[in-house]
Every structure is written in C-alpha cells, then in structure tokens.
Structure 1
Amino acid sequence: MKSLVKTIAYIGIGSAIVCAGTMIIQIPVPQTKGYINMGDALVLTIAMLFGAKVGALAGGIGSALADIILGYTHWAPFTFIIKGLEGLIAGTLAYRAQKMPLRVFFLVLAGIEMVVGYFITEVFIYGIGPAIAELPGNCFQAGSGVLISILLVLAIKRAVRDSKVWNI
C-alpha cells in the first residue's frame, strides 16, 4: 500500500512537472498545428529517476494535459501514447543502464520513438509534406531533450546523493 501511494504521488507530481515544463517554452508549427517544446527533457528525466511506470504515465498524462490546456486538443490522444512510450522506453532501458554511453543510447532510442510516432501521426492527419516539414523540429526537440535530461539527472542525483528523503 505504501509503495502504491508513493508511486501514484510520483506520477501525479511528474505529470504536473511535465505539463508545466511543456507549457513554458512552445514554438508553434503552423503546418501541423502543433508545437515544439521542452517537455521531452522532463519526460526523460522523470523516467530515468523513477523508472518505467512513473516515466510512462507522467510523460503521457503531463504531455497530453499540456496539449489540452494549450488548445491542441486534437493532439492529446496521440501525445498520450507517443510520450507515454517515450517515458516507458527511457524508464525501462536508460533507468537500468549503468554506463553513461549506454544510457545516452537508450535516451536517443526513446527520442527516435517520439520523432517516428509524431511523423506517422502527422502523415495520417496532414499528409507527407507537413510531416516532413515537422521532422527537423521534432529531431531538435528529441536531441535537446536527451542533453537536458542527462544534465538534469546528474545535477539532481548529485544534490540528493546523501539525502535520506529520496531514494533515487
């Protein structure tokens, strides 16, 4: 019971962090009626700190909630799945990786899933032209998310290394 309550709390807090972080920086992309944001960095960070379950649910819920709040409601179901899978991949693979190069590889893999997921969705909704136009932005978002998440995790782990409050 105690572990379940803690997991639910981490998912709730993680979702709020991802949602807020996604909303702070947004660059609209008119071709697909979407936007570039820094939410991926937070999805990957939470997944690396708390694992697959928290990473997947916080990533999916927080990102979809940001879409709804910002008026991109048509993207919310797709975002829930795509960002949830991104958190699941990072939380399953990068969370367990001991060596930094392997961790980076798994984060890049999660980023590739995000880029491919949105590309397929955009082709389905808008056609190949707008989907191709969105690729550079999604690649930038994925790459910067990997870099920022690594820096955040290193800083957070260093800050709480000796703390008895968190076990991350």
Structure 2
Amino acid sequence: MAIETMAPYAKWIIIAVAILYFAYLFILKKKIFEAAVGVALSGVMAALVAVVTMAIQIPTPLTSGYINVGDSMVMLVAVLFGPTIGAFAGGFGSGMADIITGYAHWAPFTLVIKGVEGFVVGYITSKKDDFTTVLLATILGGALMVLGYFMIEIYVYGWGGAVAEVPGNILQAVTGIVVGGGVGHVIKRRIKDVLISLRV
C-alpha cells in the first residue's frame, strides 16, 4: 500500500511541505503581507479560523487530539479570498487554536496541514468558482487534511492511533465541504465584485 510505503518518511514529508509553505507565504507572496489590506485580511481571517476551531472541541483521548469544526472556516476563507489568505489563515489560525486550547504539541503539524488545505482550496477556486469546482476543491482539500494527519499519526502513535482518528478527521472534512464550500460559494456569487477588490 502506498501509505505504508510513505509512512516511515512522514516526518521528512511534513518538513519538506513546511518549507514550501513558508517559502510560498513569506518569499513568493511577501508583498501581500506588506500591504495594509493583506495584513488586515490575514489577521482577521486567522482569528476567525481560531475562534471557530475553538468553539466546538471533542477530545480524542487515544491521540490527545480533538475533533473540531474549524475546517468549515478554513475552506470558507479559502473560497472567498484565495490561496494566500486561505493558506495563512488556515495554517496560523488553526495552529493558534491548538496552542490556546492546550494542544500545542499538534500546532506545528496543524500549521502545515491546514495551511496546505487552505492553499489548495483557494488556488483551485480562484481559477474557477462554479459549484462543481468548489465542491471538488473542498473535497481535495479535505482529503489532504485527512491524509496529512493520518501520516503524522502513524509516525507518532502507530497504525492503531492513526486509524482511530480517521473517522473524526473525515467528519471535520465533510463539515468543511458542506459548510465552508457551500456557504462560500453562495456568498461569493452574491458579492463577487467586493471580493475581487479585496483579493490579494
């Protein structure tokens, strides 16, 4: 199985992805964070992601993690504001929620995994934003989130802990697809001109 082959390299894969994530945000897109609108949107959206993530938390004792509905906000932000704000708010907002609520050991992983989720959803929907594209983008983003946590959990907890977390992570992904993707699509259609002027 491909996942079994990749599992021993999970740490190196996440490190490589983390490097690409930070390079994208703070090297390729650094001008966005030098503009007032970029700083404001990034900060506000990251705070909203953190608040929604903390609003409902169901602990998972086996892996010392928790189930939340933060993916709905990660995907919503990505659909509305594109890959850069989606990547920043998804990663930093979710990581901040982990730290604030006592799950700091998950924050580095969450930062990268949710950041990638926000980037992928934002990138695809910035190219085309019809319902089918938004649906496919959020499904892919959710799948990457589930896969990302699964690989880390295999490395940290073994197969038993990783498999135990899959249903909860799938639930988070589905919530994000339905709420974040659905609401994002509706809002974007209604105020598209405003969003275009804010997109950075």
So what's the TM-score if we normalise by structure 1?
0.91
> Where does structure 2 lack aligned partners over 5 or more consecutive residues?
1-30
* Aligned partner of residue 32 in structure 1, secondary structure: coil
Aligned to 1:48: 79
* Aligned partner of residue 95 in structure 1, secondary structure: helix
- How far is 1:153 from its partner? 1.5
CA pair 163-89 structure 1, distance change in 2 beyond 3 A? closer
Q: Distance in 2 between matches of 1:101 and 1:34?
A: 32
* Aligned partner of residue 59 in structure 2, secondary structure: strand
* Aligned partner of residue 115 in structure 2, secondary structure: helix
Aligned to 2:174: 143
Large movers: runs of 4+ above 4 Å: 161-164
- How far is 1:155 from its partner? 4.4
Q: Distance in 2 between matches of 1:69 and 1:167?
A: 29
Q: Distance in 2 between matches of 1:11 and 1:167?
A: 11
* Aligned partner of residue 184 in structure 2, secondary structure: helix
- How far is 1:167 from its partner? 4.9
Q: Distance in 2 between matches of 1:63 and 1:92?
A: 19
CA pair 162-52 structure 1, distance change in 2 beyond 3 A? closer
Greater helix proportion = 2
- How far is 1:151 from its partner? 3.0
Aligned to 2:70: 39
Equivalent runs, 1:13-162 vs 2, <5 Å: 13-157=44-188, 160=191
Contact 1:15 1:62 in 2 (8 A): yes
CA pair 163-75 structure 1, distance change in 2 beyond 3 A? closer
Encode CA deviations 1:108-162: one digit per residue, 9 max, x unaligned: 0000000000000111111110100100110111011110012321443366468
Contact 2:79 2:134 in 1 (8 A): no
Q: Distance in 2 between matches of 1:23 and 1:130?
A: 23
Encode CA deviations 1:53-93: one digit per residue, 9 max, x unaligned: 10000110000000000000100000000000000101101
Q: How much is the aligned-residue C-alpha RMSD, in angstroms?
A: 2.1
Contact 2:83 2:120 in 1 (8 A): yes
So what's the TM-score if we normalise by structure 2?
0.77
* Aligned partner of residue 127 in structure 2, secondary structure: coil
- How far is 1:52 from its partner? 0.6
1:4 pairs with 2:29: no
The share of aligned pairs that are identical, in percent, is: 43
Q: Distance in 2 between matches of 1:120 and 1:158?
A: 36
